[in-house]
């Protein structure tokens, strides 16, 4: 994932956690109210903290993105991140020029001009993460030491960031905010 400089330290920390994790599970509600998930590949975390993904318009996600969750897992590093927020479908030719690779043709055989190709822009509002130190072997040893000693050893760092989204998803000074008169 391409990581742009972030406006705040919590967003920068979040970016560092997410950068090496290529795929997330996007969870939304279907028309019947059931939770449904699908894998999505993270392409970019922009300078306002929004996450960008290619999306197939045939999935009919637009109405289900008012409340969504992204779950990122890197079990080998012991990193787990859950993002709550909202999404929107966007067309952005400049971003397409920047992020499209030949590998994306596997999902969109018609290429960059596919009528089904768009972006999902996810604006996180709350993030919760768990980040365990060291390798899996180190974490297992810490767990064993905790069990033997009865004292927590090598606990995972846990944190929550709230109010991450700019007002109505638009950062002050952004072109979108200027167009909206902010």
What does the alpha-carbon distance between residue 153 and residue 148 come to, in Å, rounded to a whole number? 10
Tokens standing for residue 46: 């922009």
Tokens standing for residue 2: 């391409």
Q: How far apart are the first and last CA of the chain?
A: 29
Q: Contact 106/85 with Cβ under 8 angstroms?
A: no
pLDDT 10s digits, 67-79 = 999 999 998 888 9
Number of domains in the chain: 1
Q: What is the pTM of this model?
A: 0.80
Q: What's the confidence (pLDDT) of residue 146?
A: 54
CATH code assigned at 150? 2.30.110.10
pLDDT 10s digits, 110-132 = 999 999 999 999 999 999 999 98
What does the alpha-carbon distance between residue 112 and residue 110 come to, in Å, rounded to a whole number? 7
29: enclosing H helix or E strand: strand 23-29
Residue with the bigger pLDDT between 145 and 182: it is 145
Question: What is the pLDDT averaged over residues 37-48?
Answer: 96
182 pLDDT band, cuts 50/70/90, is very low
Phi, psi of 135 (to 5 degrees): -75, 175
Residues 41, 42, 48, CA angle at the centre, nearest 5°? 155
What does the alpha-carbon distance between residue 42 and residue 128 come to, in Å, rounded to a whole number? 18
Q: What's the confidence (pLDDT) of residue 92?
A: 94
Can you give the residue range of the structural domain that contains 62? 2-179
Residues facing residue 157 across a β-bridge: 131
pLDDT 10s digits, 129-177 = 999 865 454 445 545 555 666 665 556 788 898 988 765 544 444 433 3
Q: What's the confidence (pLDDT) of residue 176?
A: 38
């Amino acid at each position: 994932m391409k990581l742009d400089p972030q406006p705040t330290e919590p967003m920068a920390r979040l970016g560092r956690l997410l950068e090496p994790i290529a795929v997330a599970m996007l969870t939304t509600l279907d028309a019947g109210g059931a939770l449904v998930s699908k894998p999505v590949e993270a392409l970019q975390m922009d300078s306002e903290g929004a996450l960008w993904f290619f999306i197939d318009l045939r999935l009919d996600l637009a109405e289900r993105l008012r409340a969504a969750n992204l779950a990122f897992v890197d079990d080998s590093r012991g990193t787990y991140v859950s993002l709550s927020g909202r999404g929107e479908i966007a067309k952005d030719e400049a971003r397409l020029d920047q992020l499209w690779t030949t590998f994306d043709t596997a999902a969109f055989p018609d290429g960059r001009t596919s009528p089904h190709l768009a972006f999902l822009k996810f604006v996180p509002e709350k993030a919760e993460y768990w980040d365990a130190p060291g390798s899996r072997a180190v974490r297992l040893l810490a767990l064993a030491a905790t069990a033997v000693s009865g004292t927590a050893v090598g606990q995972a760092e846990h944190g929550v960031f709230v109010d991450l989204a700019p007002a109505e998803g638009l950062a002050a000074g952004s072109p979108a905010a200027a167009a909206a008169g902010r």
